[in-house]
Amino acid sequence: MTKLRNDWTKEEVLAIYNKPLMELLYEAASIHRENHNPNEVQVSTLISIKTGGCPEDCGYCPQAARYHTDIEKNDLLTVNQVKAMALRAKSSGSSRVCMGAAWRNVKDGQEFEDVLEMVRTINKLEMEVCCTLGMVTENQAQRLAEAGLYAYNHNLDSSEEYYNEVISTRGYEDRLQTIENVRKTNVTVCSGGIIGMGETLEDRAGMLVALSTLSPHPESVPINSLVAVEGTPLEDQKPVNMWDMIRMVATTRIVMPTTQVRLSAGRTEMSREGQAMCFFAGANSIFAGDKLLTTPNPDVNEDMKFFKEIGIIPMKPFAKKAQPETIEAKDSQYESLGEKPKWSRPDVTIERNEEAKQKAKAKNLEKA
């Protein structure tokens, strides 16, 4: 087994990223084979349980209320709606469901109680349950764990330096704090980021250093390529070059050998050959289903045909860690604390985000 390191430096990570491609691929594929079955890829389905209207200003996100994007907003879905969607995902080959909410942070109350019930319900379907709900306190993370949550997704998204140029409404520290809160439970950590937001290669390396110096490493790391959505501050970003995606995946595999590396947003723009090269370079997870949260994703039947063609087998649930137990609400040992945590809000504005907000205001006036 490869030795795990938590002391990668930016220089080392950059040197790996910039290796001649054939060397990079060989090294990444070798490490991948030592630690994983190279023919297995985990299939995860996203369900947007609450869509749009988010108070944050993340420059990449079509769900931020302040930008004018063409998405269909939705209040929290019901437990039954989510159960039906999870069953469909299971029958199409998914072993994991990831429920996403356009929230800044979880608020104690009926909506959180409903999410806990969704977690219990899906865990009972023998599927891995992941949530991505924004910031959580330790108590909220414990309550999710008790309900049977398998993973919590909370991305670092970029290097600390570039993060501050993309989001003004919260800081990197806040992200790290939530990850720490999840780490105190037996829920696994899923944290990764986005490439193609205008960041430098140093920023990509910086993000991988931030992730790989977490101890233990996140159990899964999604690598998204930006889906540039009209109306967001990053609408004009050029699509990510396939070689960059392959290099990013390979580097992630090398610095975090036992982690599940997920080829996440952006697959509709990638050739099948490019995606296969990502699997060779160490990606062993995808998001399947015709939609990510609000943007398109390849057709699931086409994905399964592609898997067959190249001999990839969908991973079984709980292959890496046993299924968590579900404790019913009535037997819970935790109370809702109704905490109103103080999150740091740096007093900054990001020009590009402000411009997109002004444009949205003008468009909304035009429409009215």
| Active site members | 54, 58, 61, 98, 130, 190, 262
Q: Which residues, 6 or more positions from 195, have their beta carbon under 8 angstroms from its beta carbon? A: 204, 223, 224, 225, 226, 240, 244, 245, 248
Rounded-to-integer distance, Cα 139 and Cα 233, Å: 34
What does 142 interact with, of ligand SF4, ligand DTB, ligand SAM, none (CB < 5 to 8 A by kind)?
Answer: none
Listed ranges 20-28, 32-40, 161-169, 220-228: which one lies at the site for ligand DTB (CB under 6 A): 220-228
Tell me: does residue 149 bind ligand SAM (CB under 6 A). no
Smallest Cα–Cα separation from 157: which of 140, 176, 137? 176
Measured from the CB atom, the residue of 66 and 183 that comes closer to ligand SF4 is: 66
Measured from the CB atom, the residue of 223 and 255 that comes closer to ligand DTB is: 223
Q: Which of 58, 131, 254, 277 binds ligand SF4 (CB under 6 A)?
A: 58
Measured from the CB atom, the residue of 19 and 104 that comes closer to ligand SF4 is: 104
Contact 129, 123 (CB under 8 A): yes
Smallest Cα–Cα separation from 174: which of 157, 188, 186, 187? 157
Rounded-to-integer distance, Cα 35 and Cα 135, Å: 31
Contact 52, 70 (CB under 8 A): no
190 token code pair? 């899923």
User: Which pairing describes strands 96-101 and 40-50: parallel, antiparallel, or unpaired?
Assistant: parallel
Listed ranges 19-27, 206-214, 292-300, 343-351: which one lies at the site for ligand DTB (CB under 6 A): 292-300
Listed ranges 201-209, 236-244, 288-296, 320-328: which one lies at the site for ligand DTB (CB under 6 A): 288-296
Q: Which of 100, 171, 257, 282 binds ligand SAM (CB under 6 A)?
A: 100
Listed ranges 79-87, 108-116, 154-162, 314-322: which one lies at the site for ligand SAM (CB under 6 A): 154-162
Smallest Cα–Cα separation from 147: which of 322, 318, 331, 321? 331
Measured from the CB atom, the residue of 248 and 293 that comes closer to ligand SF4 is: 293
Reduce the DSSP state of residue 288 to 3 states and report it: strand
Measured from the CB atom, the residue of 86 and 194 that comes closer to ligand SAM is: 194
Q: Which of residues 100-139 bind ligand SF4 (CB under 6 A)?
A: 102, 104, 134
Positions that interact with ligand DTB (CB under 6 A): 46, 62, 98, 100, 132, 153, 155, 192, 222, 224, 227, 264-265, 292-295
